[in-house]
Amino acid sequence: MARLKDLPEALSANLANLPCPEFADTPWVQPLPLAESRLALISTAGLHLRGDAPFNGFSGEYRVIPGDAAAGDLVMSHVSTNFDRSGFQQDLNLVLPLDRLRELVEQKAIGSLASYHYSFMGATDPAPMEQTAREVAGLLKGDGVDTVLLVPV
């Protein structure tokens, strides 16, 4: 249903008119075969550990999600009220598919998972996210990660 025509008109117009950054070219890293790769998740759902600071403002900040996090460890403090949360409330995998990825590692379809995953809050201007995204990239590389799956909300 994330077709613009299916959304309430005010929301659909807002999303259609949202300025998106445009880039002259698309950077391209040749990935390792999935079965040999170490994969991390980056979500923009505003997720964080229950005791961590809620997202507050639009500075492009991020939160760390330990690789062994369970559904009960995480809460959401995204600012928007215009996306469904009832599905996430029933099943974390709907927005952060950690269990599904763990299953794929067990089946040897994916080499391994990162020790830490990360969450940003969408609805933030991408510009201030560049610096924090580069910081996260450094953390991921330090963790031996080579491949990242980005999941919006």
Instruction: Write down the least CB distance from residue 150 to other proteins, Å.
Output: 4
Question: Which positions from 102 to 131 touch other proteins by CB under 8 A, shown as an x/- string?
Answer: -xx----xx---------------------
Q: Is 99 in the site for other proteins (CB under 8 A)?
A: yes
Nearest to 69 by CA among 50, 87, 94: 50
Q: Residue 46: left if φ>0, alpha if ψ -120 to 50, beta else—which one?
A: left
CB of 10 to other proteins, least distance (A): 5
Which residues from 29-88 bind other proteins, rule CB under 8 A? 29-32, 34, 37, 42, 50, 53-54, 56, 70-72, 74-77, 79-88
CA atoms within 13 A on the CB side of 12: 9
Helices (H) and strands (E) in the chain, counts: 4, 7
Q: Shortest distance, CB of residue 69 to other proteins, whole angstroms? A: 11
